[in-house]
Structure 1
Amino acid sequence: MKWMGLGGLATIGGASVAAKANASNHYYTGPESDHFDGTLFFNPDGHEPKGFRDLLRWQFGGGKARWPAERESPFAAAKPEPRVDGDRLVVTMVGHATLLVQTAGLNILTDPVWSPRASPVGFAGPKRITPPGVAFDDLPPIDLVLLSHNHYDHLDIATLRRLHQAHDPQIITPLGNDTIVHREIAAMRVAAHDWGETVRFRDVAVDLEPAHHWSARGAGDRRMALWSAFVVSSQGGKIYVVGDTGFHGGRNYRAAAEKHGGFRLAILPIGAYEPRWFMEHQHQNPREAVEGMRLANAAYAAGHHWGVFRLTDEPVDEPRDHLQAALEAQGVGRERFRAMQPGEAWDVPMAP
């Protein structure tokens, strides 16, 4: 277990929604929508996360595979290029959900975590078993951070503070997460927006799109901040970035394909999915990730969210192995969908 639409065009620094007094939400006030009831966010026609009784059933029910204390990546730590210009697209795996995306002269990080634990404290919680695939000091200048939601394996204040001090990047994140960041790093540049909004940043457009997930930093703030996927559109094509999601019958993948027409690359989670009775609605498995790639009409896919932090029950390498089996079963070439590992860099081909 993790430690604890509105449409239109928005620009950096602009307000996303009109304010509405609501003392019961710590992070966000605004009007009701098809995924916000005036107090809490929710998945339309979807599922809420399991409750405390189910959590205890899972935690004390057995079935957890043993993970090694350390795991070496087959790739040496990468030293990325300072910039990747034009329509080239290079993706480098740092670890878990943290990837460096370089295209159109921009350096973009997804859900950056360099801390040794995905946890609110330094002495407990899921521990990193593989070092980051890019040393923090070897990062190129970071322009933009896509922050998908507030779980500790995706929103890490210590890392964001280091990025602010060293790079001063712009953050784009769904509603409410700006409050969390600004309470700790008041001067960080954070733009919070709703599903269906488009944000312009230099020569790219970033669309915030639905994902089937949830949010919490502790016991008293469940679903008070929004979660999302992103679509980055540049001269080199479109990139679909999904931090965490349940498959949800493929609903969001179909909608993304219908709206955007398809993608050069989809960055998709493939791990943290067992036991299915507990995780199914929040974390897709590798078979569902392959189906999602196909439904979204993505030419290539990069698999993440596996092999670094032990969050759930499956063996450490099972997501990679099950991904390969799913690709074969669904007739998708292995070269099109990589289960990326720390230090691995991929010069992604243009979509055929």
Structure 2
Amino acid sequence: MSKSANPYYSGPVTDHFDGTSFFNPGGIEPRGGTDLLRWKFGGGNKPWPKAYPSPFPPAAPERRVKGERLVVTMVGHASMLVQVAGLNILTDPVWSERTSPFSFAGPKRVNPPGIRFEDLPPVDIVLVTHNHYDHMDLATLRRLQAKHKPNFVTPLGNDAIMRPVLGDARISTMDWGGALAVSGDVTFHCEPCHHWSARGTKDRKMALWAAFVFETPAGKVYHIGDTGFHGGRNYRAAQEKHGAFRLANLPFGAYEPRWFMEGQHQNPEEAVEGMLLSNAAFVAGHHWGTVKLTDEAIEDPLIALVAALDARGLDPARFRPMRPGEQFEVPV
């Protein structure tokens, strides 16, 4: 395959880009079509309810959070509002009904967004970690550009997907190891995670995926939208590079069956191990309970998380499984 075969990105060969596709060094390749059929017809699927209401009402976040304060508000799945150092940061925002290329089919949310779109405070940064439909929702990005005109921050290649619908929006692209000053005292660092990307059947791994570290006066935040555990390699690297984290936003759902999902989605036990390896004081847990992507029952991640924390003798208050509308004022 020639370099011109990548419609999103052209750049030099690196330790995670072969000239056409991105990859996880030493990692697990995403499964192919035969394995997908084996999974889908394997009989392990546990149904979800049609509705799974949050116990929290829709949140009305403050306009700004300053000083030592750090507040996370859950929208749903991987969509979160992080307020710190006077900035409002939205991660992988999805306000659409479905996480799908189609409006009439595909995974449908079982609870509404935890913040009504009209109740959002001024949005400064929109972080899009990769291009899967449950993380990059172009309809929502278009609405955010029209109302807030934020700086969209995303890994390499994703700007080519976003630009046609966002016009003259500010889009900052980052490679693993890069740093971007988003204000006078806040810097974003782009870091590896173990995942993949695709919008269709012919663009697999042609745009980069990433985790991010927010370096702020109120402490460091480690944000992962999606990842396989990868033996803890990336967690160890993040700790060695950045030290302790006040908060880590970690996915802990959408992980069964393990033989298929191991390379792309960590389970609750692995997420707890990641918290310890990265030296995170607290975790806002996400990527569960809003859209059904995999086989486990809707509350299985909660049950497994409780068991994992108990097995390690950890205070459950350190790892908070966020529900839509829930607000987490992170202790100092």
TM-score range with shorter-chain normalisation?
A: over 0.9
Match of 1:190 among 149, 156, 171: 171
Counterparts of 2:170 and 2:300, CA distance in 1: 38
By how many angstroms is 1:283 displaced?
A: 0.2
1:303 alignment partner in structure 2: 285
1:7 alignment partner in structure 2: none
By how many angstroms is 1:321 displaced?
A: 1.6
Counterparts of 2:131 and 2:297, CA distance in 1: 25
Counterparts of 2:65 and 2:186, CA distance in 1: 14
By how many angstroms is 1:324 displaced?
A: 1.2
In the alignment, structure 2 segments of 5+ residues that lack a partner are none
Cα RMSD, aligned residues only? 0.8
Q: What are the superposed Cα offsets for residues 51-78 of structure 1, whole Å, 9 maximum, x if unpaired?
A: 0000000011111101011111011111
What are the equivalent positions in structure 2 for 1:110-121 lying under 5 Å apart?
A: 110-121=91-102
Match of 1:343 among 320, 325, 329: 325
Give the share of equivalent positions with the same residue, in percent. 63
Q: What are the superposed Cα offsets for residues 166-219 of structure 1, whole Å, 9 maximum, x if unpaired?
A: 100001110000110002222221111100000001131000000000000000
1:210 and 2:158 aligned: no
Counterparts of 1:235 and 1:324, CA distance in 2: 32
Instruction: Give the aligned residue type for 2:260.
Output: F
TM-score (normalised: structure 1): 0.93
2:237 alignment partner in structure 1: 255
Counterparts of 1:187 and 1:272, CA distance in 2: 35
1:42 and 2:58 aligned: no
Instruction: Give the aligned residue type for 1:160.
Output: L
Match of 1:225 among 197, 202, 207: 207
TM-score (normalised: structure 2): 0.98
Instruction: Give the aligned residue type for 1:34.
Output: D
By how many angstroms is 1:47 displaced?
A: 1.0
Counterparts of 1:102 and 1:128, CA distance in 2: 25
By how many angstroms is 1:325 displaced?
A: 1.1
2:46 alignment partner in structure 1: 65
Instruction: Give the aligned residue type for 2:116.
Output: A
2:153 alignment partner in structure 1: 172
Counterparts of 1:321 and 1:80, CA distance in 2: 29
1:325 and 2:307 aligned: yes
In the alignment, structure 1 segments of 5+ residues that lack a partner are 1-20
By how many angstroms is 1:146 displaced?
A: 1.1
Counterparts of 1:125 and 1:46, CA distance in 2: 28
Counterparts of 1:185 and 1:235, CA distance in 2: 31
Counterparts of 1:170 and 1:77, CA distance in 2: 25
Counterparts of 1:26 and 1:325, CA distance in 2: 44
Q: What are the superposed Cα offsets for residues 277-309 of structure 1, whole Å, 9 maximum, x if unpaired?
A: 000111000000000000000000010000000
By how many angstroms is 1:22 displaced?
A: 3.0
Counterparts of 2:16 and 2:199, CA distance in 1: 20
Counterparts of 1:168 and 1:319, CA distance in 2: 36
Instruction: Give the aligned residue type for 1:346.
Output: F
1:92 alignment partner in structure 2: 73
Corresponding pairs, count: 330
